[in-house]
Structure 1
Amino acid sequence: MNNNISLDGRTMVGVTNTDDGEVSGDTKFHFEQDGERIYAHYEGGDVVDGHLVGTVEGNHWDIRYTQINRNHETATGHSVGVIEVLEDGRLRVEDEWKWESQRGSGETVLEEVK
C-alpha cells in the first residue's frame, strides 16, 4: 500500500455503520494531517459536534474521538482503521471502533466526497 496517503484537506462521510454508532451518511468529517498526526472535526445526523485525534502509519490509523449528540449526551471512544485508495482516487476507511464512555462497539465505513 502507498505509504504517502494523506487525509489532509479531505472530507469523508459515513456510508455504513453498526447500530451502536451515531455516524451516518449525514455526518461529514473534515480532516487535517500533519506528518503522522491526524485531526478531524465532524458533525451531522445524530452528531452535533465531534472531534478526533490520532496517528496514521502507512495505511492504518489509530484514533480517539469525542462527540456530542442531538440529545446533548457526550461520548468518547477509540478506533483503528485501514485506509485504501479507491479506483477513482477517493479514500475509503474501514474503521473498527469501541465506545469507552458507554457500552457498544462496531464497524464504520467512511468514504471521501469530492
Structure 2
Amino acid sequence: MTAPSPVAAALPSLDGRTFVGVSNTGDGEVDDATVFTYHERDGLLWAEYAGGTITLGRLAGTRQGDVLDFRYVHVSQDGSTSSGHCRAELEQLPDGRLRSYETWQWESRPGAGRSVVEERR
C-alpha cells in the first residue's frame, strides 16, 4: 500500500498538537477529560487518546487540506472495545489554535453523532 500524495494544507500541521474534547452528541464517549495527541506526515494522520471513560485509544487516517478522514478504536474503562469512522473539518481560531468539527459513526455498534475537539491552550 502506498501513502496518499502530500497535500498542501491551508492550516498548520497537526503534528505534535494536543486537543481536548469540547462537545459531543449522540452516544459518544469523548468528553472534556479526553486528550488527543496528533501526529501528521505526508498526508497521513494518527493520534493517541485517553481520558474520561476512555482508557486507551488510537486513530489513523488521512488529511486532504482541512479535511480529516480516519478510523478510531478504543478501550473503555469497563474493558469494552469500540471502533468507528470519522470525518472532520478543521478551522483556525482567532488565537491561532485549531478546532475540529467531527461527524462520526460507530462501526462496532449502533450509533452516530457529532463532536468538537479543540487544541489545548
* TM-score exceeds 0.5: yes
Deviation at 1:18, TM superposition (A): 1.1
TM-score by length of 1: 0.96
Question: Is 1:88 matched up with 2:88?
Answer: no
Cα displacement (A) at 1:37: 0.4
1:56 is aligned to 63
1:108 to 105, 115, 120: 115
**Displaced runs of 4 or more, over 2 A:** 2-5
Contact kept, 8 Å, 2:11 with 2:91, in 1: the verdict is no
- The amino acid across from 1:21 in the alignment is G
Return the offset for 1:33.
0.5
- 2: distance between equivalents of 1:78 and 1:19? 14
Specify which structure has the higher proportion of strand.
1
Equivalent residue number for residue 6 of structure 1: 13
| 1:34 matches 2:46 | no
What is the CA-CA distance between 1:35 and the residue it aligns to? Answer: 1.5
Structure 1 runs not aligned, ≥5 long: none
Are 1:5 and 1:59, in contact at CA under 8 Å, matched by a contact in 2? no
Q: Distance in 1 between matches of 2:78 and 2:108?
A: 16
Compute the displacement of 1:4 (Å).
4.4
Question: In the TM superposition, what is the alpha-carbon distance from 1:19 to its structure 2 partner?
Answer: 3.6
Q: Identify the residue that residue 72 of structure 1 maps to in structure 2.
A: 79
Q: TM-score, normalised by structure 2?
A: 0.90
Residue of structure 1 equivalent to 2:3: none
Q: Give the share of equivalent positions with the same residue, in percent.
A: 42
Cα deviation 1:27-79 (Å, max 9, x = unaligned): 00000111200110000001000000010000000000000001100000001
